[in-house]
Amino acid sequence: MSRKYKIVIFGATGFTGELCAKFMSEKYSDIPIAIAGRSLEKLKKIKKNHGLPFPIIVADAFDIDALEKMCKETEVVLSTAGPYHKYGSDLLAACVKNHCHYVDITGESFWIKDMIEKHHKEARDKGLRIINACGFDSAPSDLGSFYAVNQVVGDVKSIQCFQAWKGEASGGTMETMFSSMDAKLAKRGLGKFSLNPKNSLSENQKKNTNDRIKVQEIPKLGGWTGPFVMALPNTRIVRRSAALSKSVGKHYGNDFVYSEGAYYSKKSAAKKMSFITLALGLVIVSPLRKLLRGFFRKPGEGPSQRAMDSGFFKSRFLV
In this prediction, residue 115 has a pLDDT band, given cuts at 50, 70 and 90, of: very high
Residue 289's region, left for phi above 0, alpha for psi from -120 to 50, else beta, is: alpha
Helical packing angle, 171-182 and 267-285, nearest 10°: 50
Most confident of 30-44, 167-181, 186-200: 30-44
Query: Could you tell me if 99 and 75 are in contact, meaning their C-beta atoms sit under 8 angstroms apart?
Result: no
Is the per-residue pLDDT at 190 higher than 90? Answer: no
Query: Could you tell me if 141 and 159 are in contact, meaning their C-beta atoms sit under 8 angstroms apart?
Result: no
Compute the half-sphere exposure of residue 75: CA atoms within 13 Å on the CB side of its CA.
Answer: 11
Tens digits of per-residue pLDDT, 72-109? 999 999 999 999 999 999 999 999 999 999 999 999 99
Q: What is the pLDDT of residue 281?
A: 79
Integer Cα distance of 223 and 236 in angstroms: 25
Is the per-residue pLDDT at 186 higher than 70? Answer: no
Quote the distance between the C-alpha of residue 222 and its chain's center: 29
Integer Cα distance of 105 and 293 in angstroms: 22
Is the per-residue pLDDT at 183 higher than 60? Answer: no
- DSSP letter assigned to residue 144: H
Instruction: Decide which of 60 and 251 is more confident.
Output: 60
Q: What is the pLDDT of residue 189?
A: 65
Mean pLDDT of the chain: 93
Integer Cα distance of 10 and 3 in angstroms: 17
Compute the half-sphere exposure of residue 232: CA atoms within 13 Å on the CB side of its CA.
Answer: 17
Rounded to two decimals, the pTM is 0.94
Peptide bond before residue 2 is cis, with ω within 30 degrees of 0? no
Tens digits of per-residue pLDDT, 32-84? 999 999 999 999 999 999 999 999 999 999 999 999 999 999 999 999 999 99
Angle CA 257–85–62, to nearest 5: 145
